[in-house]
Amino acid sequence: MAENQYDAIVVGARCAGSPTAMLLAHRGYKVLVVDRSTFPSDTVSTHLIHPPGVAALRRWGLLDQVIATGCPAIDTYAFDFGPFTLAGSPASADEAASYAPRRTVFDKILVDAASEAGAEVREAFTVEDVLIEDGRITGLRGHAKGGKTVTERARVVVGADGRHSLVARAARAEQYNEKAPILQAYYSYWSGLPTNARFETYVRPGRGFAAWATNDDLTLIVGGWPVAEAEANKKDVEGNFYKSFEQAPEFAERVRGAKREARFSGTAVPNYFRKPFGPGWALVGDAGYNKDFITAQGMQDAFRDAELCVTALDEAFTGARDFDVAMADYQMARDQHVLPMYEFTAQLASLEPPPPEMQQVLGAVHGNQDAMDGFARVAAGVTSPAEFFSQENLGPIFAAAATAAAS
């Protein structure tokens, strides 16, 4: 077999790829990271980063750069269910706030961090195919914009290439726990719509929408409806978007006084897990696991994947552990961590009224600040839904609600 030029080639240089390349380069590995995009550039995604994602950025020494872009801290999450609002702090033990930097500024920070760590970054480079030799992925073929096809080899090719991952497809990565797209959402940016450090979200029958602040004094509003309505509503996205707000008249009034500053972007996404490793390959970020965006978990999930995957690859490269054993641990840690949130997210994305037991829980949480903070932490991915909705946790919340009702 020809000698490897790189320890790792990472395909995709956004939330999953650049951190993976950066962390491998920090450990002294020879890394190439390629993306067909150039940076700065936008991508179809809103961009709320909850406290666990913020903590990763701090660990990597990047948080100050993100804050310096001017995106304000968000320290309160408010869930308006119509009859009542649950407002609490999403703070984790390490981080008090969330941030929502525009992807144009944020992804560039990540790409530059990979480069500064020593990874070779090739922008405007399109991967055409992977090399497979004796059943093992050994590299890739691709080309720079306008250039000839070149071949690059590595000990491992990491697919950080998003939902339509070429690496996952070429590797025939097993897909499991699949769910069809649930929610069709659109978003844009408004000036003149202050949100006062709050992530505001509105839950109404068949409709969900949210607003929060980002760079340049702009506020992002995202709103959606079930995919079953996607085709019919596509004819008038703007009209249907604004019509949703009529179910929250005060919010509708604020939006009427604001100015939309960008065009609408929108999509619906499939939900799946993929086995994230095999001979000569690994997957991180959306390439390996995707869920509806209603709970805004994707960016911090990508960061966690990068850390877990790099730890496993390092163990395999140094010979400390067998590749399959180390990577199976990465898969298990990922799946165990995200599975309760995956189900919670799918339920929220359906935009169906909460089931009766959930309505009872929400009613008991309302007005109890500790419990509302706990609920905000669930939405932020700080606390697992499995933990928050456990009998041990809910027992005292119901008891406090009963005491309050009796007094």
Ligand X SMILES: Cc1cc2nc3c(=O)[nH]c(=O)nc-3n(C[C@H](O)[C@H](O)[C@H](O)COP(=O)(O)OP(=O)(O)OC[C@H]3O[C@@H](n4cnc5c(N)ncnc54)[C@H](O)[C@@H]3O)c2cc1C
Q: Based on CB atoms, which residue is closest to ligand X, 42 or 217?
A: 42
Residue 338 Cβ vs ligand X, minimum distance, rounded to whole Å: 12
Amino acid identity, position 382 = V
CB of 43 to ligand X, least distance (A): 5
| Cβ-closest position to ligand X | 298
**167 versus 401: smaller Cβ distance to ligand X:** 167
Contacts of 232 (CB under 8 A, 6+ apart): none
Amino acid at residue number 163? R
Question: Residue 189 Cβ, how far from ligand X at the closest point, in Å?
Answer: 13
CB closer to ligand X out of 316 and 379: 379
Residue type, 403: T
Q: Which is nearer to ligand X, 345 or 368 (CB)?
A: 345
- Cβ-based nearer residue to ligand X, 127 or 364: 127
Shortest Cβ 255–ligand X spacing (Å): 19
Distance from the Cα of residue 120 to its chain's centroid: 25
Q: Which long-range contacts (CB under 8 A, 24 or more apart) does 351-355 make?
A: 351/183, 351/203, 351/205, 351/206, 351/207, 351/208, 351/224, 351/225, 351/226, 352/205, 353/205
Write down the H helix ranges in 14-50: 17-26
Cβ nearer to ligand X, comparing 267 with 347: 267
Min CB(83)–ligand X separation in Å:
26
Which lies closer to ligand X via its Cβ, residue 36 or residue 102?
Answer: 36
**Min. distance of Cβ 142 from ligand X in angstroms?**
6
Positive/negative CA dihedral, 298, 300, 303, 309? negative
Long-range contacts of 384-391 (CB under 8 A, 24+ apart): 384/337, 384/340, 384/341, 385/340, 385/341, 385/343, 385/344, 386/340, 389/361
Q: Letter for the amino acid at 400?
A: A
Per the DSSP assignment, residues forming a β-bridge with 261 are: none
Interatomic CA distance for residues 385 and 382, integer angstroms: 9
Asked if 336 and 329 count as a contact pair (C-beta separation under 8 A), the reply is no
Least CB distance to ligand X at residue 306 (A): 9
Query: Residue 387 Cβ, how far from ligand X at the closest point, in Å?
Result: 21
Q: For ligand X, which is the closer residue by CB, 53 or 280?
A: 53
Given the rule CB under 6 A, which residues bind ligand X?
11-12, 14-17, 34-37, 43-49, 126-127, 160-162, 166, 185, 267, 269, 285-287, 293, 296-300, 302
Q: Which stretches of 219-355 are DSSP H helices?
A: 230-233, 237-244, 249-256, 298-318, 323-349
